[in-house]
Homo-oligomer: A and B are copies of this chain.
Amino acid sequence: MQIEPELCKVEDALGILVGKWKPIILLHLLKNGTQRFSELKRSLPGITQKMLTKQLRELEEEDIIQRVVYAQVPPKVEYSITEYGRGLEPILEAMHEWGTKHTLHKREMQRKASI
């Protein structure tokens, strides 16, 4: 792993995943497939509409998710992961794996600290 020109690539990935909501949104779409706006909103307790819209727009911009609007009333808009976006799964998995270890590690550290 060389360093200088490689950094920006790591940062690119990070730039796409970063934010309080993006990883959760992506996990939901990866796990559950196509979802409507309202379904996502219900899945993300605490998110505001503004935030959800913003995150979805940004992910769409990067071609990570796809947005399909149905000409209906009331409106129906569906979101799904693109082929390309599915490539993020290994990163999410690596993070998940590490996160699991991290939880145990934190617990261990606290135990030691309390002695």
Contact = CB atoms under 8 A, between A and B. Distances in A.
Interface stretch (A1-9, A34-42, A52-60, A72-80): A1-9
A105 to B, nearest CB: 6
A10 interface: yes
Contact of A91 (B9, B18, B91): B91
User: How many copies of this kind of chain does the complex include?
Assistant: 2
A67 interface: no
Interface in A1-52: 1, 3, 6-14, 16-18, 23-24, 27-28, 30-31
A107 interface: no
A95 interface: yes
Contacts of A12: 99, 102-103
Interface centre among A10, A12, A100, A101 (most CB of B within 10 A): A10
Contacts of A13: 94-96, 98-99, 102
